[in-house]
Amino acid sequence: MLKILIRRELLNNLMTFRFAAVMLITLLLVVANTAVLIQDYEQRVESYNDAVKIHYEGLRKAKTYSTMYLFVDRAPNPLSIFNVGLDKRLGNLIGIWHGFVPTLWDTEMHGTDNPFIAFFSSIDIVFIFEVVLSLMGLIFAYDAIAGERERGTLRLVLAQPVRRGQILLAKYISAMLCLLVPLLLSLLFTLLLLIRSIPLSPADFFRIGSIVFASFAYLSLFYLIGMLISVATRRTGTALMLAMFVWGFLILVYPNLIRATINPGGNIQERVNTVNNQIQRIVDEYERDRKKFLKNEGIAEGSRFHEVLGLYTQASVDSANMMSYIENLTDISETPPDFERYISLAKRYFDFVEPLTIRTTERVWFIRKQALDDIFVRQARMDRILLRLSPVGMYDAATQTLAGTDLLGLRDFFEATRRYRKIVIDYFYAKRAFGSREWFAADKGAVDWSTFPEFVFERSDASVNAARALPDLFLLIICNLVLFMGILLIFTRSEI
């Protein structure tokens, strides 16, 4: 019986104008935007490659350890074509230095970052689906029950020995089969375009597969919302208007509204100030220890020693992003005649000060990490949670996590930069770089960079992404089930 019902519904749906129109527009939008997105991605990869090359050469030009410029670039994520998330927006260039623990708040951009085009949001495939699939679901669903009720065919069907649940199920299955056609077909085109220009790993295909699954759950959710409206109203006209306004509210209004009205930040400035004070105390301690060392060695501030080494220390806190600056600038271009006299002292000085710097920055990092989490991350998380009240929020969060362009995915990168900093420091210790002449002067041979550790970053495993996206996917599925149960309940109790 179910089979007959499904066949009838399928024929009803497939032969309609709306099916053809929806199919056409989805394909058109997805293919056109994929072409644009791929070009954009390639441009980003190009500027990434340029940046990596420049930074590689820049490091090898340095003659002393203390004047090295070590930068790490973040490669664009190929899955940003599906959901761009934070991939394009956040900085992708960061310095690595023992006196500084890198976070995403200290980044710069290696490509063009033009404020005059920042207003235009980049349309990724998930965004197209967010808008088009939801509309499709509602258009197919609004008259599913109400229409039959108006035409009187529902009565006819129910006169047969069919259970009401079966009718609903048949309608749901057939509509989903229809709607899957444009979804899968457009994704197929996207993949064909993608494979031609971007190399994808098997893990990426798994991720894309999961994104398709999330899209399906999202589509089904909107179909069920439409069906709920259709079951609850008596007339198609009313059902249509309700469906459209619900769509407008959930897609257009709510996601923007919630961000504009809710401001969970509280008094950020006060928090920043206390943290800055805490950090300033640590930095002051550093300065005290450093001065004590100099005093023990019998060197006065601003003496010939400082002048010869071109030494000046700036130990301060950046009030904007709570960064501590502890710098020892030692750029010696030409050695004065009395240089040799200060060599052993300088070696001892740097051997003492640089490890002290490392310890200080790590203490600062401990405080800073908590503050950054409190001030920025908590706010972003709050936004995300509130967004989840609309299916768009769930779908967006799930696909972003799967693509690895969400906050967690990006934080993986900064974790890696912090690990790399540790590796570099270990390398310095192993080479005894701090106490060496090459730390500050290159007159007796420059630094050998050939054994310097390279930075490698692998995006997290697909299973990790899947595990992170699981709560959102689960939420989507639960919503689907709850809606279906609700529809079933209303439908079985309603009078025809």
Partner 1 sequence: MIWHITKREIYDNLNSLRFALTAVLLLALMLINAIVYLRGHPDRTQTYHDATAEAVKKLEERSTSLYRLATEGPGHLYKAHSSLRFCAEGDEVFLPTRVSGENYFSDIANVRPLWRLSHPQETPNIYNIRPDFTTMDWAFIVSYVLSFVAILFTFDSVSGELERGTLRLILANPIPRHTVLVGKFLGAFISINIPFVIAVLMNLLLISTSDSVQLNAELWGRLGILYGITILYTCIFIALGLLVSAAVRESGVSLVVLLLIWVSFVVFMPNTLASIGSRTSVPMAYMEFWSEGNRLDRETRKAYEDKYGDSQSTPPVHVIAEYLTIDAEESEYFAEKYLNQQITQGKRARAITRISPAAIVQHLFESFAGTGLERHLQFIENAKRYAREYRDFVIDTDRADPMSLHAIGVPKGMSQKRVSPEAIPKFKDTLSLSRDFNAAAMDLFLLVLFLVVLLAGAFLAFVRIEV
Chain residues 243-262 in contact with partner 1, contact rule CB under 8 A: 244-245, 248-249, 252-253, 255-257, 259-261
Query: Binding to partner 1 by residue 340, rule CB under 8 A?
Result: no
Query: Binding to partner 1 by residue 120, rule CB under 8 A?
Result: yes
CA distance 83 to 77: 10
Q: Which of 109, 180, 299, 488 binds partner 1 (CB under 8 A)?
A: 109
Burial of 486 (C-beta count, 10 Å sphere; 0-12/13-18/19+): middle
Query: Binding to partner 1 by residue 22, rule CB under 8 A?
Result: yes
Q: Which of 149-157, 172-180, 376-384, 486-494 is the region at the interface with partner 1 (rule: CB under 8 A)?
A: 376-384
Query: Binding to partner 1 by residue 43, rule CB under 8 A?
Result: yes
CB nearer partner 1, residue 115 or residue 161: 115
Q: How far is the CB of 219 from partner 1 (least distance, A)?
A: 16
Query: Binding to partner 1 by residue 116, rule CB under 8 A?
Result: yes
Q: Which of 337-345, 381-389, 432-440, 469-477 is the region at the interface with partner 1 (rule: CB under 8 A)?
A: 381-389
Query: Binding to partner 1 by residue 383, rule CB under 8 A?
Result: yes
CB nearer partner 1, residue 18 or residue 281: 18
Residue whose structure tokens are 């005649």: 337
CB nearer partner 1, residue 109 or residue 343: 109
- Give the footprint of partner 1 on residues 396-435 (CB under 8 A): 396, 407
Q: How many residues bind partner 1 (CB under 8 A)?
A: 73
Query: Binding to partner 1 by residue 14, rule CB under 8 A?
Result: no
**CA distances in angstroms from 337 to 300, 309, 446, listed in the order given:** 21, 12, 20
Query: Binding to partner 1 by residue 87, rule CB under 8 A?
Result: no
- Provide the residue type at 409 as one letter: G
C-beta atoms surrounding 301 within 10 Å: 10
Query: Binding to partner 1 by residue 69, rule CB under 8 A?
Result: no
Q: Which of 31, 45, 90, 200 binds partner 1 (CB under 8 A)?
A: 90
**Is 412 in a helix, a strand, or coil?**
helix
Handedness of CA 301, 364, 458, 401 (dihedral sign): negative
Closest by Cα among 314, 313, 316 to 277: 316
**Is 72 in a helix, a strand, or coil?**
strand
CA distance 23 to 26: 5
In degrees and rounded to multiples of 5, residue 329 shows phi and psi of -85, 120
Q: Which of 23-31, 185-193, 272-280, 284-292 is the region at the interface with partner 1 (rule: CB under 8 A)?
A: 23-31
- Give the footprint of partner 1 on residues 141-200 (CB under 8 A): 143
Query: Binding to partner 1 by residue 456, rule CB under 8 A?
Result: no
Closest by Cα among 167, 96, 105 to 457: 96
CB nearer partner 1, residue 134 or residue 361: 134
Q: Which of 99-107, 193-201, 280-288, 350-358 is the region at the interface with partner 1 (rule: CB under 8 A)?
A: 99-107
Closest by Cα among 253, 173, 184, 191 to 215: 184
Query: Binding to partner 1 by residue 131, rule CB under 8 A?
Result: yes
Q: Which of 17, 298, 334, 430 binds partner 1 (CB under 8 A)?
A: 17
**DSSP-derived secondary structure for 313-369:** EEEEEETTTTEEEEEEE---SS--TTGGGGHHHHHHHHHHHHHHHHHHHHHHHHHHH
**CA distances in angstroms from 439 to 41, 60, 61, 338, listed in the order given:** 40, 15, 14, 18
Q: Which of 32-40, 165-173, 271-279, 426-434 is the region at the interface with partner 1 (rule: CB under 8 A)?
A: 32-40
Query: Binding to partner 1 by residue 54, rule CB under 8 A?
Result: yes
C-beta atoms surrounding 157 within 10 Å: 16
